[in-house]
Amino acid sequence: MLNKDGGIDEYVYAVDQQSISLADALWLCSSIFSKHKSKKDNKKIFLFTNNDEPHSKFSNKQKQAEKRIGDLQDGNVSIFLFPIGEAFDTSKVYQELLMSNEYGSILSGSMTADELLSKICRKGQKKRPVANLVFNVDSNTKFGVKLYNLIRPAPTPKRMQLDKRTNEIVKSVTTKFNAETAETLLPSELMKSTIVSGEKVRLDKNDLTSLKSKFAVGFTLLGFKPIEKLKFHLYLSPASFIYPDEDLVKG
């Protein structure tokens, strides 16, 4: 069993194939998850095996394993099967057994340690959504989506000013002045402006808050355009990926 530091605390092995119980192994995983209750936890089970038929397809052990997987499914636990060997036949037991596992998957068979390690690293990454939003197709149709950031180069960390005596981070304070009177301006006195029809329109903090509250948070479908209409100079920021979220909108 792996500990929190990545080391092995204890391990056991089965004497023969008849003593193997997949349901007992899943029950142990469930008990470990129940001891560490946190809403931010991403619960995953990685199942490594080269045995494509640990028990008969219609045996009591199969029914017990199905019940355990159903309990884990209710607890939002993902189960990923890592078959070892290209001759691994998932149709014997695991394909039907893991059919109800919505969050997990069955991976292709691995022959080398490097291939297996690469798959583990990909599945081990936490795919946390940036936001959960509503996608409005029209006034009567909407569905939930999750927003994910795509792979992008990691930016260089911003430079921080340090006090040379204590090596502590120096906090900067910005004060705004009126250019004509040199008086200090309060945050409530600051205004923003934009150009509308060639005229400069000023907006204070209350105006901005009112404008933002006029529109619902989320995506609204305005229409479609052919891809050749996309211009490079209209690019504002890196694109994100949206994926349907069935839990956000009920119906």
pLDDT tens readout for residues 66-78: 888 888 877 778 8
Alpha helices (H) in 60-219, listed in sequence order: 60-74, 94-97, 113-124, 205-213
Q: How far apart are CA 150 and CA 63, in angstroms?
A: 40
Q: Where are the domains of the chain?
A: 17-124, 131-157+192-244
Distance of CA 129 to the CA centre of its chain: 4
Residue 18: predicted pLDDT: 60
Q: How far apart are the first and last CA of the chain?
A: 42
pLDDT at position 8 is: 45
The pLDDT, as a whole number, for residue 251 is 62
Separation of alpha carbons 52 and 36, rounded Å: 31
Low-confidence winner among 15-19, 205-209, 240-244 (lowest mean pLDDT): 15-19
pLDDT at 102 exceeding the cut of 70: no
As a whole-number percent, the residues of the chain with pLDDT over 70 amount to: 82
DSSP-assigned letter for residue 171: P
Residue 53: pLDDT band (50, 70, 90) is confident
Examine the pLDDT at 7 and tell me if it is beyond 50. Answer: no
Instruction: Return the C-alpha torsion angle 66, 67, 72, 75, nearest 10.
Output: 140
User: Is the model more confident about 14 or about 140?
Assistant: 140
For residue 77, how many other CB atoms are within 10 A of its CB?
Answer: 21
Length of the chain: 251
Identify the band that residue 88 occupies on the pLDDT scale cut at 50, 70 and 90: confident
Mean pLDDT, the chain, whole residue set: 78
pLDDT tens-digit series, residues 177-228 = 888 888 888 887 888 888 888 888 888 888 888 887 777 788 888 888 888 8
| Topology, domain 17-124 | Rossmann fold (3.40.50)
pTM of the model: 0.48
